[in-house]
Amino acid sequence: MDIRTLQLFQHLADSLHFAKTAEAMHVSPPTLSRAIQRLEEDCGAALFVRDNRSVKLTAAGAKLLAFSAQTLEDWQRLKSELKQDSQLLKGELSLFCSVTASYSHLPALLERFRQAYPQVEIRLTTGDPALATSKVINQEADLAIAAGTPDFPTELSFHQLDVLPFVLICPAGYRLSQWQQLDWRTVPMVLPESGPSKRIVHHWLTEHGIRPKVYASVTGHEAIVSMVALGCGVGIVPKAVVEHSIVANRITMLPLEGIESFKLGLCCLKGRSNEPLVRALLDQV
């Protein structure tokens, strides 16, 4: 039994005429007869009662007809689904983001994307968010999760995901309730070495006339959080970085007034924003 035989059987069960079915299904009458005979052998029952004047469906034939109709319907549905699958987007996208973004914002984005485009593979690289825009500009990544800044590169398009407030972080042992209680002359500070955070933090410190006692300048928000948790001093980082850190219980967060927020978004080269794979991910923002 195969799909073609079932198609012949179904047409014959409807026409009850061997010659008409043979013509309509583009087979010779002997070929049709042999196909029906093989089907009857497979079923172990006569499917038609036929004589020189008429063809009638037997009870066994009626049962097979119901099976045949359902099977052929399922087959057509499967072929349609397979055709749609073959037309889905396929390929690979490279994406760069920070470690924090990889589990704070990326999972929800990728879950939507994977549901819509299951045949597209994502190659993820994590690192210092300060490198995000250069990774895309140098085509080391198709897209990146980056911070939107006033001097954001003009060759890139930016699609905002979230707005993250900055907080002052201290070791949990510091008994402070507000940042004004901090003695900036004696308490060391861990500063961002590069990237948008460096500008934001420097601007806020300057506005408040604070000249920090610098303990170290490091790469990446996660490094600042770790050093503060170890008691090396205080720092200023986006709140989400602390909330998703494994050392969050060793840190006290204090709100900061008047500090610029961290605008987080997905970026790509403007010239590539309408490429099918790139556009598919941007549409999930």
Residue 84 confidence (pLDDT): 67
Reported as a single tens digit per residue, the pLDDT across 142-155 is 999 999 988 899 99
Rounded (10°) angle between helices 29-43 and 3-15: 110
**E strand or H helix at 120, and its extent?**
strand 120-126
How many angstroms separate the CA atoms of 196 and 200, rounded? 6
Which of 9, 19, 21, 85 lies closest to 48 in space, CA to CA? 9
Reported as a single tens digit per residue, the pLDDT across 1-26 is 789 999 999 999 999 999 999 999 99
Residue 188 confidence (pLDDT): 96
Residue 170 confidence (pLDDT): 97
Proportion of the chain above pLDDT 90, given as a percent: 80
pLDDT higher than threshold 80 for residue 83: no
Which of 284, 269, 283 lies closest to 133 in space, CA to CA? 269
pLDDT higher than threshold 90 for residue 80: no
Residue 142 confidence (pLDDT): 97
When pLDDT is averaged across residues 200-208 and rounded to a whole number, the result is: 95
pLDDT higher than threshold 60 for residue 126: yes
Reported as a single tens digit per residue, the pLDDT across 241-281 is 999 999 999 999 999 999 999 899 999 999 999 999 999 99
pLDDT higher than threshold 90 for residue 88: no
pLDDT higher than threshold 60 for residue 86: no
173 pLDDT band, cuts 50/70/90, is: confident
When pLDDT is averaged across residues 193-207 and rounded to a whole number, the result is: 92
89 pLDDT band, cuts 50/70/90, is: confident
When pLDDT is averaged across residues 174-195 and rounded to a whole number, the result is: 92
When pLDDT is averaged across residues 102-110 and rounded to a whole number, the result is: 92
pLDDT higher than threshold 60 for residue 239: yes
When pLDDT is averaged across residues 176-186 and rounded to a whole number, the result is: 91
Residue 150 confidence (pLDDT): 87
pLDDT higher than threshold 90 for residue 50: no
When pLDDT is averaged across residues 166-191 and rounded to a whole number, the result is: 93
Residue 166 confidence (pLDDT): 96
265 pairs with which residues across the strands? 146, 160
Is 167 or 185 the better-scoring residue by pLDDT?
167
The tokens 């410190």 sit on which residue?
A: 205
pLDDT higher than threshold 70 for residue 85: no
Residues 6 or more apart from 39 whose CB is under 8 A from it?
1, 5, 9, 47, 64
